[in-house]
Structure 1
Amino acid sequence: MAAPRAVTRLLPRAGGRPRAWYQQPLRPGGPGRGSILGPAGGWSQQEALGLLEAAVLYRAGPLVAISKPPGLAVTGSPGQLSLVSLLPDLSQRLSLPPELHVVKAAGKDGSGLVLLSGCPGTTQQLHAFFTQLQRAGRPPATYRAVTAGVPAAAEGEIRTGLKLEQVGDLQLVVPVAAPSRRSVERKEVKQTLTRYKVLGMAPGCGLVQLQPMTAFPGQLLVHLTLLLCPALGDHVYSARVGTVLGEPFLLPVGSALPRTQVLGEQLLRRLCLTQQLLHRLPLHLHLHQLLLPTAVLTAPPPPFFLQTLRLLGLPGGQSAS
C-alpha cells in the first residue's frame, strides 16, 4: 500500500466558478468584525447544489470528496432538502456515475468532509479499510471542536454505552454507563469510544481534537457533554451540562431536554453575541481529516470557526490548515 499523501484541493478552479461556501467572507457583524452566526433561513435546492459543486476537494476514479456546510442534513424525509436528495443532480453536474452514494459524512449540524462513491465495490473496500484502521488502533477520521469549557485532562478517551431513546417527539442519544451484556448483544446499546486531545485553551473554552473509534449518531456531542465541555452551537445535548458557582456538573438526562445553548457572560462578550441571538450560533464541530488508502483528505475549517478561534484567543485562527 502506498504511503498516504495529504490532499486539500485537487481540482482547478474554472473561470467564473463561484467560490466555495468556506471561502466566502463572513457577513458584517460589527465594526471590523465578521458575524459567526448562521443564516436566518435555509437554502433552496439550486443554492445548495451550487454550494456543494463549488466545494469539491478531491476526485479520483469513482470517488469524490466535498466539504459540507453546517445545517445540511445528509439524509431526510421525502421532499426534504438533504445531501442524499441532491446526489442525482450533483452527480450529473460533476459527470459522475448516477448511483452516487455516501461513504462517510459530517453530521447534519456539523461541517466538513463528505466522501462519495459511484462504485459499490470501492465503497466496500473503503469500509473494510476503515475497519482495519480501527482494529489497529488508528482512527480514520479526525474532528475539531470549539468547546464551552475545557476537559480536565489534556488528552484521554471517553468510553460509554450509547442508546437511542424516544423522548416526546425527539429521538435522543442517551449514555449508558454500565450496559448489560444482553442489551449489547441485542444491539439496544452500543459500546462507544472516542479519543480526544486538547489542542489549545483560553479562559472558559478550548479547541479539542476528537477521533471516534466507533460510529454512533450524536456520539461526539454526547461524549463532549460527558467531559463537561459541550461544543459551541450544540443546541441538543449541551443542556445536560449545568453550572453551580462556575463549576460544571452533569444533569440527569430526563431533566435536560434540548434547548438553545446557554453561555456565560464572559464567553458571550468575547464572541460579541447576546443570548437572544445564540439560537443562530452554528455547531462548531468540523470533520477535518479522513484517511484513505493512498491519500489524507483535509477540509478547511469554515470562516465562522476560524473567526471564533480568533475571538476567543484559541490557536489556529490565522490559517485554514
Structure 2
Amino acid sequence: MRTVLAREMGGCSVLGRIWGVWRRRPGVRAVPKAPGFGTEAGHRLRPRGSSKRSRPLGGQPFPGLLQLENLSREELVDVLRAAVVDQKGKPGELTLFSVLPELSQSLGLGDQELQVVQASGKETSGLVLLSSCPQTASRLQKFFIYSRRAQRPTATYCAVTDGIPATSEGKIQAALKLEHVDGVDLVIPVKSPSRKDFQEGVKRTLSHFHVVAMGSGCALVQLQPLTVFPSQLQVHMVLQLCPVLGDHTYSARVGTVLGQRFLLPADSTKPQRQVPDEALLRHLCLTPSQAAQLPLHLHLHCLHLPGMRPGEAPMKLLAPLPSYFFRTLQCLGLHQQ
C-alpha cells in the first residue's frame, strides 16, 4: 500500500490536496499547505504547532479562507491545481466544472477533457479525483461500485462533532429520503420503510464511525460511508445526537432539555444556523456572529485506489486538513488518546 498526496497516474490526473468549501453564498475557501493527517497504523493525530489552545483571532477566526470576489478566473484555475471548489453548480456560476477546460490546458493535457471521478460533498473539504482518460475513469468508477457492493470502504472522512458519540466505534444504519421543502432539498430519515417507500426513492444507508479523540464536549471522528446518499454523514451524526461542527442545515434537529439531547422531528424542523453553547464558544474563541460562519468540519481525507497497472500495489491518497480544522483541534484539545 502506497500513500501519496498527489500524482499523475497514467491518464488519471489526481488533485490530492482539496481544501475548497463552496457555501450557498459566493466564496471559495482554500488554505496553504498543511501536514498530512495520517490514518495508517503508527501515525499520530496531532495539530500543527503548539498544543496550547489558540488565542482569539479577531476578524479572521477561520485562517486560510479566501473570498471568491478576490479571485480572477485565471487565479481560480491556479488554485484548482491543488484545491477543488465544487463538482456542480448553476449556469454561469464560477465552479470546478465551469473552468475544467482551462484547468486541462493549465495541466498540459491539450484537448483531453477532464471529468470528475470522485468528489466530496458541496460544503465538504477534501479530495477530488479527476481523470483525462475515459477508460481510467470507467475503471475507477467500477472499482468504487464493486467496493460498495462488497461493503469495503474506499473513503475516510474526518469530522469534528458537537457532542461525543455514546460508543467509541460502530455503524450507523438509516433509511433516508430526499425531500424538497420550502425550496431546499433536505434529507429525511424514514422509520420502518415499506416496499412502496423504497420504490419512491427511500434508500438504506450505512456508515462506520470511529472516535479518534475527545475533548471539551466534542469529538474527532473518522467516518467511512458504505453507501452513497446526499448529506449522508451529516444526517448520520445527527442521528447519533452529535452534529458535525459547522452543520447549519441538520444540526437544528438535535434539541437539548436540562442537558439531555434528543431528536426533533426531521420533517418539521427547518434548517438554521448552528448555535454552539457558551462553553463551546469559549473553547473555540469565537463570538456568536463568528460561530454563525463556521465552515463545515467534514473533510474527505483519504481515498483507497487500485494500482493503475497490472501487478501495481494499491495506493492511499491523502489530503491534509484545512488550517481552520487544525485550529479547531487545537482549541478543543483534540489529540489522539
Percentage of identical aligned residues: 50
**Of 131, 143, 163, which aligns to 1:149?**
163
The answer for the alignment partner of 1:63 in structure 2 is: none
Task: Indicate if the aligned counterparts of 2:302 and 2:318 stay in contact, CA closer than 8 A.
Answer: yes
**Of 59, 76, 81, which aligns to 1:48?**
76
Question: C-alpha distance in 2, partners of 1:24/1:291?
Answer: 22
> 1:302 and 2:315 equivalent?
no
Question: C-alpha distance in 2, partners of 1:158/1:31?
Answer: 36
The answer for the alignment partner of 1:319 in structure 2 is: none
Give the number of the structure whose residues are more often strand, by fraction. Answer: 1
Task: Indicate if the aligned counterparts of 1:37 and 1:280 stay in contact, CA closer than 8 A.
Answer: no
Q: Label 1:38 to 1:302 Cα distance change in 2 as closer, same or farther (>3 A).
A: closer
TM-aligned CA deviation for residue 50 of structure 1: 2.1
4+ long deviations beyond 4 Å: 31-34, 37-41
- SS of the residue 1:301 aligns to: coil
Q: Label 1:262 to 1:98 Cα distance change in 2 as closer, same or farther (>3 A).
A: same
TM-aligned CA deviation for residue 140 of structure 1: 0.5
In angstroms, what is the RMSD of aligned CA positions? 2.4
- SS of the residue 1:280 aligns to: coil
Q: Label 1:24 to 1:139 Cα distance change in 2 as closer, same or farther (>3 A).
A: closer
**Of 308, 314, 318, which aligns to 2:334?**
314
Question: C-alpha distance in 1, partners of 2:171/2:260?
Answer: 22
Question: C-alpha distance in 1, partners of 2:165/2:279?
Answer: 18
The answer for the alignment partner of 1:23 in structure 2 is: 32
- Report 1:259-298 matches (<5 A): 259-294=272-307, 295-298=315-318
**Of 124, 127, 137, which aligns to 1:113?**
127
TM-aligned CA deviation for residue 49 of structure 1: 1.9
The answer for the alignment partner of 1:207 in structure 2 is: 220
> 1:221 and 2:221 equivalent?
no
Task: Indicate if the aligned counterparts of 1:38 and 1:282 stay in contact, CA closer than 8 A.
Answer: no
Question: C-alpha distance in 2, partners of 1:278/1:30?
Answer: 12
Task: Indicate if the aligned counterparts of 1:40 and 1:280 stay in contact, CA closer than 8 A.
Answer: no
TM-score normalised by L of structure 1: 0.83
Task: Indicate if the aligned counterparts of 1:38 and 1:281 stay in contact, CA closer than 8 A.
Answer: no
Question: C-alpha distance in 2, partners of 1:114/1:24?
Answer: 16
TM-score normalised by L of structure 2: 0.79
> 1:139 and 2:153 equivalent?
yes
Unaligned regions of 5+ residues in structure 2, if any?
Answer: 9-18, 20-29, 35-47, 49-53, 308-314
The answer for the alignment partner of 1:170 in structure 2 is: 184
TM-aligned CA deviation for residue 182 of structure 1: 2.6
Matched AA of 1:309: L
Matched AA of 1:51: V
Matched AA of 1:235: H
